[in-house]
Structure 1
Amino acid sequence: MQDYRRTQMQKELIIQRLKEEGCRITKQRQMLLDIILEEDCSCCKEIYYRASKRDPKIGTATVYRMINTLEEIGAISRKNMYKIACGEECEVKEACTIELEDESVVELSAIQWHQIIQAGLEKCGYMRGQKIKNVVAMPCQCAEA
């Protein structure tokens, strides 16, 4: 039930962003958004395949345009295999796990994660009043030996 509510909140936020950008919210766009939110998709072809099962009239161009639009508004990141990017209002409880050298673990909610990054970037002079749109963290490969 919590996943459903989180997914609905994400969908509503994305639809709001699309409207702000002047996009019409069509049934096909809503369906594509549902597909992306329901499952991890690794490419546009996979999204198209799933969408064409639900609506045989959908075209590949529609899928590619929707993916590009979602990426432009910061709702998805192709680097994250089309996972919906959480914003600072996200209520995911365990969004980030940090392991320290003494083997202790710190778990942060999405809200805490964004607050810490925002404060750190401001303190170091990288940001002045902007808000974080998205964060992509890559696992470290150098320490694994």
Structure 2
Amino acid sequence: MPQEQTKHEARNYHRTQMKRELIIQKLREQGCRITRQRRILLDIILEEECSCCKEIYYKALQKDSSIGPATVYRMVNTLESIGAISRKNFYKIACGEECFKDQGCTVELSDHTICRLSGEMWMDVMKSGLKAKGYIQNQDIENVIVSAVEG
């Protein structure tokens, strides 16, 4: 299993690097200089799961204290304008197991069957699916990120 996980991480790294180079190329085509600060911000956006500009800003400060919030907002706006990211289709649900104790979810299947899952059942389904696909072994789910796919 650890070998499979390493292969998965290598594929994700390669995919991230390809995205990075494509985005840099698009930025250059738009006349943007590719500064050290822009590279730092791009790496944070590609490699970390941030739900807002403020979160990106705080992570960027740890790498370069000269990056200001305006730089982050400009970079995010630029990335949005070239189609590299979409803020309107990104939502972060910051919750783990404790968040679902009194809640749950409703799933509608293609035959219009409705499945209502308690919070505990929902977490079991998530963990089972992630384990079956080889994404986790014995880890707990810290939070869930839901993003809409345009297309």
Give percent identity, aligned residues only: 67
Q: Aligned partners of 1:40 and 1:80: how far apart in 2?
A: 14
Asked which structure has the greater CA Rg, the reply is: 2
For structure 2, the residue ranges without an aligned partner over 5 or more in a row are 1-9, 92-108, 114-148
Structure with larger RCO (C-alpha < 8 A, sep 6+):
2
Of 131, 136, 140, the match for 2:150: 136
Structure with greater proportional helix content = 2
Match of 1:10 in 2: 19
Of 62, 65, 85, the match for 1:56: 65
* SS in structure 2 at match of 1:22: coil
- 1:81 deviation in Å? 2.8
Q: Between Structure 1 and Structure 2, how many residues are aligned?
A: 92
- 1:101 deviation in Å? 3.2
For structure 1, the residue ranges without an aligned partner over 5 or more in a row are 83-98, 104-134, 138-145
TM-score of the pair, normalised by structure 1:
0.58
- 1:5 deviation in Å? 0.2
* SS in structure 2 at match of 1:74: coil
Of 99, 111, 116, the match for 1:101: 111
Q: Deviations over 1:117-138 (max 9, x none)?
A: xxxxxxxxxxxxxxxxxx527x
1:57 maps to amino acid: S
Structure 1 residue 41 and structure 2 residue 46: aligned?
Answer: no
Q: Aligned partners of 2:53 and 2:112: how far apart in 1?
A: 42
